[in-house]
C-alpha cells in the first residue's frame, strides 16, 4: 500500500479488488493484530461456559480526534463498557468501518493504532470486521460500528426493574469530562490545564465490585445524555423517584465553567468512563470504599413517588430546596440567554 503521508482513502479501497486487499492486509491487520478471520468472512470462536452478553453500537463524532481519545478508542471502549454494564467480562469485538473517500491515510493509521491500544486496555480481541468506502461528502470522515461478546460474571440480572425504594445511588467518578473535551474543541475554547475525555474501560471497576461481593441492582454507563438521561430512564423503568443531593455530584470547575459559558446543563454531558451504580443500603459502605478512591461518591437514593404522581428525578439544592431534573432534549445547543 501507498506509504506516502499525503495518501488518502480512495473508492477502490472498498471495491473488493487489489486496493482493498492491500488496505486490509497492509494496514488493518498489521495494526489491529489478532484478526482471526483474516481469510474468511466469519470467525469461529471458542467461548467459556455460562451466559453471554452481546452488544452493538455505532460511533459518529466530530472532531474525530479530541483530547484524551478519538473515535477509534471510543468505539472499542464504548462497546466493551456496554458489556461490563451487563456484569459481563468483555471478550471479543467485531469492527465495521465506513470510510469517506479522501480520508487521510495517516489519520486512519492513527485511529487504528488507537483501537489496538484500546482493545489491549479492555482485554478484548477484534475477531472479525468489514470495510466499506463511500463517496466524498457522503460520510463524516469515518463511521465505526463495533459489536461485542462477553461472559456474564454478575450473580444476578442487572435491570432497572430490580431497583427498590431505599437503594443507594453511587457515581464511579466525576461527570462530564468527555462532553467538555468535545464541546471545547467544537466551540474554540481552550482547556487549561488540559482536560482530557474520561474515555476508559469500566470492567476493572465492575470486576472489583463483584469480587468484593457487591451485588449491583443497576449499572449504567453515562454516555449519550449523560447522568440526566440515565436517571430519567431509570426513574421511568423502575417507577421510583430518584432523589439526588446536588452538592454531592462530583463536577470539576472546568466542567461547570464550560457549561456556564455555553449555557448547558452539566448533567447532560456525556461521559465515556463513568457509571451509575445502585445497591441496597447494607452494601453501600463496601461499594463506596471501592469507588471513592477514583472520585466516586454517594449521590442519592431511590424512593417511592408521592401518591398519584409519576416518578421523577428530584434534585435537592444546597439550599435544601427541590427542583426536577429537566428532561434531556438530546441536542446540546449552546445558548446566550
Partner 1 sequence: MTGPWTLMEVCGGQTHALLRWGLDQLLPADLRLIHGPGCPVCVTPAERIDRALALAGQPGVIFCSYGDMLQVPGSRPGHDLLGLRARGADVRLLTTPLQALAVARDHPERQVVMLAVGFETTAPATALLARQALALGVPNLSLLVCHVRVVPAMRLIAADRATAVQGFLAAGHVAAVMGTAELQQLVDDHRLPVVVAGFGPDELLQAVGACRRQLQRGEARLDNAYASVVTADGNPRARRLLASVFEPADVPWRGLGLLPGGGLRLRGRYAVLDADRRFGILPPDASNHDGPCISGRILRGLARPLDCPAFGSACTPDHPLGAPMVSDEGACAAHLRYRRH
Partner 2 sequence: MCLATAGVIVSVAEGDGGDPLWRSAEVDFGGVRQRVSLACLPTASVGDAVLVHVGLALALVDAAGGLP
Instruction: Determine if 306 is a binding residue for partner 2 (CB under 8 A).
Output: no
Nearer to partner 2, 204 or 250 (CB): 250
C-alpha cell recorded at residue 76:
472499542
Least Å distance between CB 319 and partner 2?
Answer: 15
Q: Tell me how far apart the alpha carbons of residues 18 and 10 are, in angstroms, rounded to a whole number.
A: 12
The residue within the footprint of partner 2, chosen from 102, 104, 250, 257 (CB under 8 A), is 257
Q: Tell me how far apart the alpha carbons of residues 30 and 225 are, in angstroms, rounded to a whole number.
A: 36
Other C-beta atoms lying within 10 Å of the C-beta of residue 51 = 13
The residue within the footprint of partner 2, chosen from 34, 45, 260, 289 (CB under 8 A), is 260
Least Å distance between CB 192 and partner 2?
Answer: 5
Least Å distance between CB 185 and partner 1?
Answer: 13
Q: Site for partner 2 (CB under 8 A): how many residues?
A: 21
Q: Output the CA–CA distances (angstroms, integers) from residue 56 to 80, 105, 145, 147, 161, in the order listed.
A: 10, 26, 7, 4, 22
Nearer to partner 2, 145 or 268 (CB): 268
Nearer to partner 1, 213 or 263 (CB): 263
The residue within the footprint of partner 2, chosen from 155, 166, 247, 263 (CB under 8 A), is 263
The residue within the footprint of partner 2, chosen from 16, 46, 137, 253 (CB under 8 A), is 253
- Among the listed residues 149, 306, 194, the one whose alpha carbon sits nearest the alpha carbon of residue 241: 306
Least Å distance between CB 322 and partner 1?
Answer: 5
Instruction: Determine if 251 is a binding residue for partner 2 (CB under 8 A).
Output: no
Q: Exposed, middle or buried by CB within 10 Å (0-12, 13-18, 19+), for 12?
A: middle
- Binding window for partner 2 (CB under 8 A); candidates: 182-190, 207-215, 234-242, 320-328: 182-190
Nearer to partner 2, 53 or 262 (CB): 262
The residue within the footprint of partner 2, chosen from 254, 269, 276, 279 (CB under 8 A), is 254
| Three-state DSSP string of 253-265 | HHHHHHHHHHCCC
Site residues (vs partner 1, CB under 8 A)? 187-188, 261-263, 309, 312, 317, 319, 321-324, 326-327, 329, 331, 333-337
Longest dimension (CA), the chain: 69
Q: Residues 105-115, buried b or exposed e (16+ Cβ, 10 A)?
A: bebbbbbbebb
Q: Which does 257 bind (CB under 5 to 8 A by kind): partner 1, partner 2, none?
A: partner 2
Q: Which helix (H) or strand (E) holds 115?
A: helix 105-122
Nearer to partner 1, 25 or 243 (CB): 243
Least Å distance between CB 183 and partner 2?
Answer: 9
Least Å distance between CB 184 and partner 2?
Answer: 6
Nearer to partner 1, 16 or 308 (CB): 308
The region, left, alpha or beta by phi > 0 then psi within -120 to 50, assigned to residue 274 is: beta
Instruction: Determine if 195 is a binding residue for partner 2 (CB under 8 A).
Output: yes
- Check: CB of residue 312 under 8 Å from CB of residue 213: no
The angle that helices 177-186 and 253-262 make with each other, rounded to 10 degrees, is 50
Q: Which does 49 bind (CB under 5 to 8 A by kind): partner 1, partner 2, none?
A: none
Q: Tell me how far apart the alpha carbons of residues 332 and 201 are, in angstroms, rounded to a whole number.
A: 25
Residue length of the chain? 337
Q: List the Cα angle 214/288/225 in 5-degree steps.
A: 90
Q: Which residues bind partner 2 (CB under 8 A)?
A: 180, 184, 188-193, 195, 252-254, 256-258, 260-261, 263, 335-337
Amino acid at each position: 500500500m501507498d506509504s506516502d503521508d499525503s495518501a488518502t482513502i480512495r473508492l477502490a479501497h472498498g471495491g473488493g479488488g487489489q486496493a482493498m486487499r492491500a488496505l486490509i492486509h497492509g494496514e488493518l491487520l498489521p495494526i489491529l493484530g489478532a484478526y482471526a478471520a483474516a481469510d474468511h468472512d466469519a470467525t469461529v470462536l471458542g467461548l467459556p461456559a455460562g451466559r453471554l452478553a452481546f452488544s452493538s453500537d455505532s460511533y459518529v463524532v466530530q472532531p474525530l480526534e479530541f483530547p484524551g481519545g478519538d473515535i477509534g478508542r471510543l468505539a472499542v471502549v464504548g462497546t466493551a463498557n456496554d458489556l461490563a454494564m451487563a456484569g459481563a467480562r468483555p471478550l471479543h469485538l467485531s469492527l465495521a468501518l465506513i470510510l469517506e473517500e479522501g480520508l487521510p491515510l495517516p489519520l486512519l493509521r492513527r485511529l487504528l493504532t488507537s483501537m489496538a491500544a484500546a482493545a489491549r486496555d479492555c482485554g478484548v480481541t477484534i475477531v472479525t470486521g468489514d470495510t466499506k468506502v463511500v463517496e466524498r461528502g457522503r460520510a463524516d470522515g469515518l463511521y465505526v460500528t463495533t459489536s461485542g461478546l462477553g461472559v456474564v460474571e454478575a450473580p444476578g440480572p442487572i435491570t432497572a426493574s430490580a431497583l427498590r425504594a431505599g437503594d443507594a445511588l453511587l457515581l464511579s467518578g466525576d461527570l462530564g469530562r468527555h462532553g467538555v473535551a468535545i464541546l471545547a474543541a467544537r466551540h474554540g475554547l481552550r482547556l487549561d490545564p488540559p482536560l482530557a475525555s474520561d474515555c476508559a474501560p469500566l470492567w476493572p471497576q465492575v470486576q472489583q465490585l463483584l469480587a468484593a461481593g457487591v451485588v449491583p441492582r443497576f449499572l449504567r454507563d453515562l454516555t449519550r445524555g449523560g447522568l440526566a438521561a440515565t436517571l430519567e430512564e431509570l426513574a421511568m423503568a423502575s417507577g421510583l423517584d430518584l432523589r439526588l443531593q446536588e452538592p454531592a455530584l462530583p463536577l470539576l470547575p472546568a466542567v461547570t465553567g464550560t457549561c456556564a459559558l455555553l449555557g448547558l446543563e452539566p448533567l447532560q454531558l456525556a461521559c465515556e468512563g463513568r457509571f451509575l451504580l445502585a445497591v441496597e443500603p447494607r452494601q453501600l459502605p463496601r461499594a463506596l470504599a471501592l469507588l471513592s478512591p477514583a472520585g466516586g461518591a454517594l449521590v442519592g437514593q431511590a424512593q417511592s413517588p408521592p401518591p398519584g404522581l409519576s416518578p421523577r428525578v428530584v434534585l435537592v439544592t444546597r439550599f435544601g430546596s427541590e427542583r426536577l431534573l429537566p428532561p434531556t432534549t438530546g441536542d446540546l445547543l449552546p445558548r446566550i440567554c
